[in-house]
Each structure stands twice: as structure tokens, then as C-alpha cells.
Structure 1
């Protein structure tokens, strides 16, 4: 398959760089080059970019949504195009972003094993722990790219198709366009942080199998299960421990002044998942017999 040829050749690039002793920076550069040379990666980013485009085009064709119907801020788009990016993020978080992150994170180790390049990476002086760190950094880079794609494309489309002006926040205060753009970047940072715990889970699952699809599907399914559990009031005691609990908690960034409590709580929670599942991934990978 052409895609497999590209990925195999990219894997050989990473192997060659590791053998030359280029260090972590070379290994990371090769990983990012491999990730962002794949057609699959750009197809997923293109799919994420379609979300704000479809929302904006639907509003242009069908007219503004009734107040209180559809995703939050949908009815505000015709008044201010900056709300396209915020609405698109709200639509992307529950399903589309987790699916793409699941694909990338689940492919980190299992993908190398399925293409037969993992053994050669480990023969080279890369080191198993360093390889895991680089693989996770690649998944985290995609979290940044995916989130920024939705926010940036949403902002540009909103700017082109709708009026742009000062933004009225949830607290009732009005801020300038420049201030609103800073808040959009803060929202993108919040969402990126929210996905880091899921990436660690995907990395761990990827060390358990040589079948990438299995790790990808399991990672995405866990995100869905976590969101379902978070919606059940009977399990309220469990909610603060679920990695998806704060995914929609960036509303406080749209107040004046901005409230950072949810951002901090979310970062601490995701760091906990990173530590736990990162340790599990290291423990599994250090003792794993690599035959492919």
C-alpha cells in the first residue's frame, strides 16, 4: 500500500537518525516529520477543519439558530463571527477530537511494531524510555495541531463570513477583538491540556499490542465511556477523577476577569493520568519482548 510505504520509509528515517547518535532532538524531529508527512494525519486535520466550515456555511444557508437550541454560542455567530471557533470546539470535543487523538496515540508503539520498524529502533541507541517520551511528545504535538486547527479555521471562517467586533462575555462585560482572540488561544490551550491524559492512555494501550487499530479503538472507546460516566449523577463521586471531566470547563475563560480554577484543576488531573499511564507504559515497554 502507498501509505504503508510512506510510513515504513519514515520509520527508517527515525531508525537512521537514532543510529547516528543525533540524540533526543533528532529522534523527536524524525517523529514529528514522520507524523506530519502522513496523509492520514492531514486527512484528520482536514476533517477537523471542516467542522467550523460546516457550521458557518449552515448558518449562512439556514439562518441563525433559535436561542437555546443547538450547541452553546451557536445563536451568537451571526452577530459576531468569533463565536464560530468557540462553537466548533464545543462540537469537536466530545467525539471528533478524541477520535483523532485516539488514532495518533494508539499508533505510537503498535504502529512501529506492525510495520516492523520497532525492533530496529530499539537496536539503535535510542533507549526504550527515550523512545516512549518521543512518541508521547509526537502525540502531544498532534493535540496542539488538532485543537489549533479547529480554533484557527473557525476564527478565519467567522471573520470572512460574519461581522466581527467586540465580544460580550458570559459575565456581561464586553472586550475588544484582540482580547477575545487571546481568550480563544487560552481556550485552545485548555483543550490541548485536556487531551494530554487521553494521549498517555493511548500510549500505554499501544504498548500492549502489535495491532494499531485495537489500541486506537480502545483509546477512543474509553473517552466515550468516561463521558457517559461523567453524565450519570449517581456517580458524582467519581466525576472529578474522570479524564474527560473538565473537557468543557473552559467557560470561565469567557468571563471578566478570567477564572483559572478549572484550568488548574484540569492540568493537575491530566498530569495525574500522564504520570500513572506513563509509568504503566514504561513498565510494560521495558519488559516487552519485541519481535517485530
Structure 2
């Protein structure tokens, strides 16, 4: 390796890190992002207050008139505030979390095009591939941040409104509160990973248009459409290939022993979507005329 190449490689690595930091700062300083995170943080508050009011009349840990017939995990919240984390993630995963990811991913490239800043980004020595990777990595960071906002908000609200203690798992096994926290963290990780598919789809859509609003609306529209398709029994043959099909498999982490089958299928499916739509986004972005 020549001395010039040795100098160039650290400089290139520093540029990539600088580009990634710049993208992170750009996303998390926007008011839209802060509003999305605020809405996500408010969901556990609303769920916790609703459960507290509903069970305030002295009902024995039940929710609604039929006790355990409420949403998953909700009937356990009054016995242990940690279950508010699981209930809130189950409540936000079908729509609120993926919608927020769809907004961020859909706007990633199209928003830059609409504002006229994309051509200036490409003048810098980033390259289209590196820029696309930075955009996708930033979206992944937002996936983790959004999921943690829900989990932390739920944990704080659960600790304020309900008792904390040993956790009784779905299988009936009782574990310590510390192990329950570890499982909650693992569940948050699985939920964040479950959003990779919609992030890749949103990134691909973002390369197809020069309008950020159109890209965001299209991504959210696709999310709603796929969610609807996943409910029809007649489509059972294709449903295992729809990215939201295994989203709620995170509940299997609350079993002893853990049921890994659907968890691995979920992660593999998200990886498949990331590979397919990430490649499609790269093919489109690297061949598209965005500097004219």
C-alpha cells in the first residue's frame, strides 16, 4: 500500500463518519421527528391512564368487563407495571411505530430532492452508495430510538401508576424483576429489528419520486394496504411473506422456554426485505439523474 493510499483510507473513513453524524443531526433536529417521538411517548401514558381509570373501581387486576379479554398484556398491567412496556409496544407496533418509520424513510431521499439539497450532497466526495447507506443507517437509528422512546415512557408510567415486582410469564413461570427488564430490552430490540422491512420499502419509494410528501404518503399507504391484506384468511398462502406478518412474535420472548421459531422467521423476513428493497433502492439511486 502506498503512502497516499494509507492517508486516503482514514480520510475516507472520517468522511463517512462525518456524513453519518450529519444525517443523524439532520433527522433528529427536525420538528417533524420530535413530534413523531412525542406522539410515540404519549401512547404509553394514555394506555397507562386508561388502565388505571378502568381498574380504579377495585376490580381484581382485570381490564374491561371481561377481564383478560382486553388487548394483549393489558390485563397484567395492574399487577406489574413492567407489563405496560409490552402492552405499549403491542399497541404501537401495528401502526404508530411503522408509520413514523415510513415518514422518516420516505422522506430520506425524496425530501432532499424536493429541497434541492441532494445535488449538493453528491458534489461532495460521498458517492451515491455511501450516501444511500448513511440514509438507511440513520433510519435504523431512528427505529431503535423510536422503540426505546415507547419502552422507556411505558416503564416510567408503569412505575408511577402500578406496582413493580416479579414477572409472571405467559407460560406461567415467575422470574425476577431484573430478568423481566432484560426480556423487555430484548423485546424492544426485536421490535426495532421488525421495522427494517418497512424502512427498506420506504427508502426504495423515496428514490422513485422527487416529492417528500408523495414518498411518505405512498410508504404509509403501502403499510396500511399490507396490514389489511394480512387479515384476509383467503390470502394465507402469501401472508407469511408480508413484512408485518410476524411482528407480534416478540411475545414469544415472554415464554419459558422461549419459542424461537416465529422470532427467527420474523428476523429472516426483515432481512429479506432489506436485501431486496435495499438493492432496488441502490439500483434506482445510482442510475437516476438527480443533478440536472
TM-score computed with the length of structure 1 as normaliser: 0.90
Match of residue 200 from structure 1: 200
Q: Deviations over 1:69-122 (max 9, x none)?
A: 331111211111111111111110111112111110001101111111100011
C-alpha separation in 2, matches of 1:232 and 1:69: 22
Match of residue 150 from structure 2: 150
C-alpha separation in 2, matches of 1:226 and 1:266: 15
Match of residue 160 from structure 1: 160
Give matches, 1:249-268, under 5 Å.
249-268=249-268
SS in 1 for 2:247: coil
Q: Deviations over 1:125-176 (max 9, x none)?
A: 1100110000000111110011111111101110111011111111110011
C-alpha separation in 1, matches of 2:128 and 2:288: 10
Question: Unaligned 5+ residue runs, structure 2?
Answer: 1-10, 56-61
SS in 1 for 2:103: helix
Q: Which has the larger radius of gyration?
A: 2
Match of residue 39 from structure 1: 31
Tell me by how many angstroms 1:291 deviates.
4.0
Q: Deviations over 1:220-266 (max 9, x none)?
A: 12112112111111111101111111111112100012222222211
SS in 2 for 1:80: coil
SS in 2 for 1:134: helix
Instruction: Provide runs of 4+ in structure 1 moved above 4 Å.
Output: none
Q: 2:15 aligns with which of 23, 27, 38?
A: 23
Give matches, 1:149-228, under 5 Å.
149-228=149-228
Match of residue 42 from structure 2: 50
C-alpha separation in 2, matches of 1:270 and 1:109: 21
RMSD over aligned CA atoms reads: 1.3
Q: Deviations over 1:196-221 (max 9, x none)?
A: 01100000000011111111111112
SS in 1 for 2:19: helix
C-alpha separation in 2, matches of 1:255 and 1:276: 32
Q: Structure 1 residue 133 and structure 2 residue 125: aligned? A: no
Match of residue 16 from structure 1: none
C-alpha separation in 1, matches of 2:99 and 2:266: 20
Question: Unaligned 5+ residue runs, structure 1?
Answer: 1-19
Q: Structure 1 residue 285 and structure 2 residue 277: aligned? A: no
C-alpha separation in 2, matches of 1:236 and 1:77: 33
C-alpha separation in 2, matches of 1:150 and 1:272: 26
Match of residue 97 from structure 1: 97
Tell me by how many angstroms 1:267 deviates.
1.2
